[in-house]
């Protein structure tokens, strides 16, 4: 029996051997291209050497198979038996090399990663070093310019702070941990009444009027490290008390130790006065409305009483007891009607004509009427009427009544002490379209406890029969009707010398007239 032909097997073996060579060289070429693209990549280098070894192994193995098949086809089987051990040994050697390369691949990868990490770190450090070197180089080149710029910035900042400190209209001060005022601006010294050129050494205890306010100041500074809008009272150099709104911040050194504070103080005295005047205005407006209602209700029955009493007087002779009684009724009824008329004036229920008038003429008329009576009680009158006084819009008759009331009150205050001096002055209010008329006496003054009540209707400190308590109330209503205000000073502080004088000063502040004269009927 004949065997199967071996040619197909020989051909397949030879074809496979050739394909192994082709594929191994294709792999080698691809690995070579990767290596050329990224020469520093360890993985592509390893893959290139692995493919090269694989290509050598493929050539060795394929050539062995090709030689074997050629020898078998030619019937040289004996020769193959001689060559086969050498070919197998060489292939085994190459296979072992491939296995070794594969086994140590992971170790190589770990080493590559460690090296790559180190290289990346060195690269980053190198970049930072280069960037730092560039910055140092730039700083070295522009160091002088940077120093000059920084110096200019600091100088500008210091100038701004100094301008704020010097030009601020509020008090700005700095104190140390021992409560000494180490620095205070000119506005603060002026506010406290101390000389700006040579101020005395001051502490917080010198300027705080109340120890309780100072204790609260320290409590808030220690607890909160700052103070915001604390209302306190400061004592001026002459002992005058002023209302202050205070804000302060604690100052610490580098180790956090308290070394003092810096503060800003705003004078609220004028604001407090205006609020008090506003409250008084509202109260007087309410009282005026009530007084108007009462006056109208009383006026009618008083008229009836007066009319009937006068009719009855025709029936009885004046010297009889009935006639005398009716005369008393008539006199007292007229007194009541006068009080009602004053109430109506106070509540501004009477119409008035307003025109451009000279306040100096009003004052001159009032003094002409009252100067003789004042001289009889040894009261000397001093006039200081501004020559360039601006005209005002008002009712001359009503304004005369206001100043007569003030002069009468001054007369009574000085009459009790046997005489005195009366100062009458007018002036334009500086930088304002307002004029001021002042009536000042050297009498006993107004006690603090009654000062807030002097404009209340029926309030009087005079003895019974010497006043109804409506004079200042009516004056208040008239001045308010003219758009003005009344300020009271008692005792009086001299504006030039600062000297405190006994007595009372009434300042009537009225708006000046417009440029064009006019007459207004209300």
- The CATH number covering residue 330 comes to 1.10.287
Q: Are residues 346 and 356 in the same domain?
A: no
3-class SS of residue 160: helix
Residue 355 φ then ψ, to 5°: -150, 170
Residue 316, domain member (yes or no):
yes
| CATH number of the domain encompassing residue 396 | 3.30.565.10
Q: Would you say residue 2 lies in a domain?
A: no
User: Can you tell me the distance from the alpha carbon of 339 to that of 460, in angstroms, rounded to the nearest whole number?
Assistant: 14
Asked if residue 510 and residue 404 are part of one domain, the reply reads yes
Q: What's the CA gap between 162 and 176, in Å, rounded?
A: 19
pLDDT of residue 271: 67
Same domain, residue pair 370 and 504? yes
Phi and psi angles of residue 518, each rounded to the nearest 5 degrees, phi first = -155, 165
The answer to whether residue 119 sits within a structural domain is no
Beta bridge partners of 248: 227, 263
- SS3 (DSSP) at 235: strand
Give, in order, the Cα–Cα distances in Å from 295 to each of 139, 273, 291. 90, 32, 6
Statement to judge: residues 398 and 481 lie in one domain: yes
Residue 143: inside a domain: no
SS3 352: coil
Alpha helices in 240-395 (DSSP H): 269-313, 321-346, 359-376
pLDDT at residue 280, as a whole number: 58
Domain boundary among 350, 371, 392: 350
Please report whether residue 325 resides in a domain.
yes
In a domain, 290, yes or no: yes
Q: How many CB atoms lie within 10 A of CB 133?
A: 10
Instruction: Give the Cα separation of 240 and 336 in Å (integer).
Output: 44
What pLDDT, on the 0 to 100 scale, is given for residue 112?
Answer: 67
Integer Cα distance of 85 and 89 in angstroms: 6
Are residues 377 and 417 both part of a single domain? yes
Here the tokens at position 486 are: 């009344």
The confidence score (pLDDT) of residue 157 equals 62
497 plus 407 within the same structural domain: yes
Alpha-carbon gap, residue 50 to 101, rounded angstroms: 7
| Strands 258-267 and 500-501, bridge-based pairing | unpaired
Pairing of strands 379-385, 420-428: parallel
In a domain, 124, yes or no: no
- Give the H/E segment covering residue 394: strand 392-394
- Note whether 516 and 488 are same-domain residues: yes
Domain total in the chain:
4
**Segments in 314-428 forming alpha helices (H):** 321-346, 359-376, 396-415
387 and 497 in one domain? yes
pLDDT of residue 349: 45
Residue 150: inside a domain, yes or no? no
pLDDT tens, per residue, the chain with 522 residues: 454 455 676 677 667 767 777 887 888 788 788 888 877 776 777 777 777 777 777 776 666 666 666 666 666 666 666 666 666 666 676 667 666 666 666 666 666 677 777 778 888 888 888 888 887 777 777 766 777 777 777 666 666 656 666 667 788 888 888 888 888 888 888 888 888 888 888 888 888 888 888 888 888 888 888 888 888 888 888 888 888 888 888 888 888 888 888 888 888 777 666 666 655 555 555 665 666 666 666 777 877 787 878 888 888 887 888 888 888 888 888 777 776 766 665 555 445 567 888 888 888 888 877 777 788 888 888 888 888 888 888 888 788 888 888 888 888 878 877 788 888 899 888 777 889 998 888 887 777 666 655 666 554 555 544 454 556 777 777 888 888 888 888 887 777 666 778 888 888 889 888 754 444 443
Q: Which two tokens stand for residue 280?
A: 């008084």
- Is residue 233 within 8 Å of 260, Cβ to Cβ? no
Q: Tell me the C-alpha distance between 504 and 422, whole Å.
A: 10
Q: Which of 78, 103, 128 is the last residue of a domain?
A: 103
Distance between CA 242 and CA 374 in Å, rounded?
Answer: 37
The Cα-based distances of 258 to 70, 176, 201, 215 in angstroms read 106, 9, 22, 17
User: Is 290 in the same domain as 380?
Assistant: no
Contact 277, 248 (CB under 8 A): no
Domain span including residue 275: 271-350
Same domain, 462 and 371: yes
What value, to the nearest 5°, has the Cα angle with vertex 99 and ends 97 and 105?
105
For residue 178, the domain's CATH number is 3.30.450.20
Regarding whether 382 and 439 lie in a shared domain, the answer is: yes
Question: Which pair of tokens denotes residue 321?
Answer: 């007891």
Contact between 392 and 514 (Cβ < 8 Å): no
Domain boundary among 58, 75, 103: 103
**82 Cα distance to chain centroid:** 109
Examine the domain organization and report whether 503 and 357 are in the same domain: yes
């Amino acid at each position: 029996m004949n065997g199967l032909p071996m040619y197909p097997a020989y051909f397949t073996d030879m074809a496979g051997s050739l394909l192994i060579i082709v594929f191994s060289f294709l792999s080698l070429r691809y690995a070579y291209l990767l290596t050329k693209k990224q020469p520093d990549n360890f993985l592509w280098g390893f893959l290139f050497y692995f493919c090269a070894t694989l290509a050598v192994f493929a050539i060795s193995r394929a050539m062995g198979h090709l030689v074997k098949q050629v020898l078998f086809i030619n019937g040289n089987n004996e020769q193959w038996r001689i060559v086969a051990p050498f070919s197998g040994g060489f292939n085994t050697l190459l296979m072992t090399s491939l296995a070794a390369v594969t086994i140590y691949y992971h170790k190589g990868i770990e080493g590559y990663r460690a090296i790559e990490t180190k290289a990346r770190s060195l690269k980053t450090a190198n970049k930072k070093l280069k960037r730092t070197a560039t910055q140092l180089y730039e700083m070295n080149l522009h160091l002088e310019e940077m120093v000059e710029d920084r110096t200019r910035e600091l100088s500008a900042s210091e100038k701004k702070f100094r301008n704020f400190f010097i030009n601020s209209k509020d008090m700005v001060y700095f104190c140390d941990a021992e409560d000494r005022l180490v620095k205070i601006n000119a506005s603060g010294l002026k506010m406290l009444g101390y000389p700006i050129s040579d101020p005395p050494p001051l502490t917080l205890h010198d300027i705080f009027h109340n120890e309780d306010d100072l204790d609260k100041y320290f409590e808030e500074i220690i607890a909160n490290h700052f103070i915001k809008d604390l209302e306190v009272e400061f004592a001026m150099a002459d002992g005058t008390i002023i209302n202050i709104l205070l804000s302060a911040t604690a100052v610490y050194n580098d180790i956090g130790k308290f070394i003092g504070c810096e503060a800003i103080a705003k004078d609220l005295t004028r604001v407090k006065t205006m609020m008090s005047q506003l409250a008084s205005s509202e109260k007087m407006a309410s009282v005026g409305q009530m007084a108007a209602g009462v006056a109208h209700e009383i006026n009618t029955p008083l008229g009836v009483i007066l009319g009937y009493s006068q009719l009855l007087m025709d029936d009885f002779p004046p010297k009889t007891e009935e006639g005398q009684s009716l005369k008393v009724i008539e006199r007292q009824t007229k007194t009541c009607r006068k009080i009602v008329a004053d109430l109506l004036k106070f509540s501004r229920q009477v119409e008035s004509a307003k025109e451009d008038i000279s306040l100096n003429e009003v004052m001159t008329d009032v003094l002409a009427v009252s100067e003789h009576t004042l001289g009889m009680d040894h009261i000397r009158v001093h006039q200081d009427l501004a020559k360039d006084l601006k005209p005002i819009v008002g009712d001359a008759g009503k304004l005369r009544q206001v100043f007569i009331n003030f002069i009468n009150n001054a007369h009574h205050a000085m009459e009790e002490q046997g005489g005195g001096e009366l100062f009458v002055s007018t002036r334009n209010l500086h930088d304002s379209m307002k004029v001021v008329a002042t009536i000042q006496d050297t009498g006993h003054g107004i006690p603090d406890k009654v000062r807030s009540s002097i404009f209340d209707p029926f309030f009087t400190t005079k003895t019974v029969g010497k006043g109804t308590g409506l004079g200042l109330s009516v004056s208040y209503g008239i001045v308010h009707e003219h758009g003005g205000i009344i300020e009271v000073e008692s005792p009086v502080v001299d504006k030039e010398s600062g000297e405190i004088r006994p007595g009372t000063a009434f300042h009537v502040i009225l708006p000046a007239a417009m440029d064009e004269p006019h007459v207004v009927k209300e």
